[in-house]
Amino acid sequence: MTTKRLRVVLLVCSTRPGALGPAVGQWLADTLAPTAGLLDADLVPLAISDLRLPFLDEEEHPSTGVHHHEHTRRWSEIVDGADGFVFVTPEYNYGMPATLKNALDYLGPEWAWKPAGFVSYGHTSAGTRAVQHAKQVVTTLRLVPLGATVALRIADATREDRFAPEARHADAAEGLLTELVQVARALTPLRERGHADAVAGPLPGSYARRLGPDDAPEVTVLQRCCWVEEALANDTLAIPALHESPDDVRAWLADWHTTGLWRDGRLLGMVRTRRTGADLHIGRLAVAPDLRGRGVGRWLLRHAESAGEGCLRIVLSTGAASRRNLTLYRRQGYAPLPDAQGDGVVDLAKAVSV
């Protein structure tokens, strides 16, 4: 599973002047900050009032992802970039505020496969009826509501007109965040597979997306699994991929265009490309050892070659004794270069088809 930090939006939903919501939101952010650090999560406090969303005014259906207004595009970017949400909501007339319903209705795919936790407040019911109302809506959007909640009865959480929740409320909030992070990480493959930038992979349930610096731990592990065999075949440990730290990998991930093939949170394979003049350089083609012979390497190679439009040739290299690699590349039209670098390495190239 990916180890990147999660982004959790704490959304204060009341816009009524003098409402308790901002105080609850501030308490929640302060209370959860230490736990969030331990869980590798970033908290993003936000108030619906800051979004300045009018009642839904988009002509296109939210499911299309087509947004004409700047306020909608801004809200879409926030939701799309989040991994989970905590809605801080009052209860109005046995239901959630119209402001929350409106904010939910604005968007569609951006919500999918993200956990939703609730911190409610009110009088008799502590806002729990608003939460039940909201859960009916969020499940339709494929948000995943948590079992853990925080319900604040105003009389129990105020002292001399000052918001002062009890220790049990803080414990409940920490439990909610812990559950949210667990669910968010478990749902990561579903979120990524449904993302607009993801493409279907060659194996059932697999998908490919661009890798970034946050993926460095998984890339480091895959490299070491794959290049041990290369080290044995070529009788050398002088292979950079075997010695790179996650920080080294993070650095080149920011520089190369690298595609990773995933399934159920596991990095199955990868390949990177970079243009230099009229050449497209392909490197670090790797497939998990238990998946070799199933066409994954050929699929990744073809995917990498598709970036060669406008180049004159595609260049790559492998170990001189790496028979499996050499066979693959020759079958795909690559031939050794006459000015190969030597030192146990073979440089190969093929012309780009026009």
Using the predicted structure, report yes or no on whether residue 92 has a pLDDT greater than 80: yes
From the list 212, 222, 224, the residue with the least C-alpha distance to 4 is 212
Please enumerate in sequence order all residues whose Cβ is within 8 A of that of 137, keeping only pairs 6 or more positions apart, or say none: 96, 101, 104
Residue written as token pair 């105080």: 23
Q: Over the stretch 122-157, which tens digit does the pLDDT of each residue have?
A: 999 999 999 999 999 999 999 999 999 999 999 888
In this prediction, residues 85-104 reach a mean pLDDT of 96
**The predicted structure's pLDDT at residue 103:** 97
DSSP state of 92: B
Q: Is pLDDT of 193 > 90?
A: no
Q: What is the pLDDT of residues 288-324, one digit of tens each?
A: 999 989 999 999 999 999 999 899 999 999 988 899 9
Q: Please provide the CATH number assigned to the domain covering 6-193.
A: 3.40.50.360
**What is the model's pLDDT at position 264?**
83
More confident residue, 265 or 30: 30
In the predicted structure, residue 228 carries a pLDDT above the cut 80: yes
Give CATH superfamily name and number for 207-351: Gcn5-related N-acetyltransferase (GNAT) (3.40.630.30)
Q: Distance of alpha carbon 123 from its chain centroid, rounded?
A: 38
Is the pLDDT confidence value at 176 over 60? yes
How confident is the model at residue 197, as a pLDDT? 77
What are the structural domain ranges in the chain? 6-193, 207-351
pLDDT digits (tens, 9 = 90+) for 240-249: 999 999 999 9
Q: Are 127 and 94 in contact (CB under 8 A)?
A: no
Q: List the beta strands (DSSP E) in 123-211.
A: 144-153, 158-159, 162-163, 199-200, 207-210
Q: Give mean pLDDT, residues 340-348.
A: 77
Average model confidence (pLDDT) across the chain: 92
Do 203 and 263 form a contact (C-beta atoms < 8 A)? yes
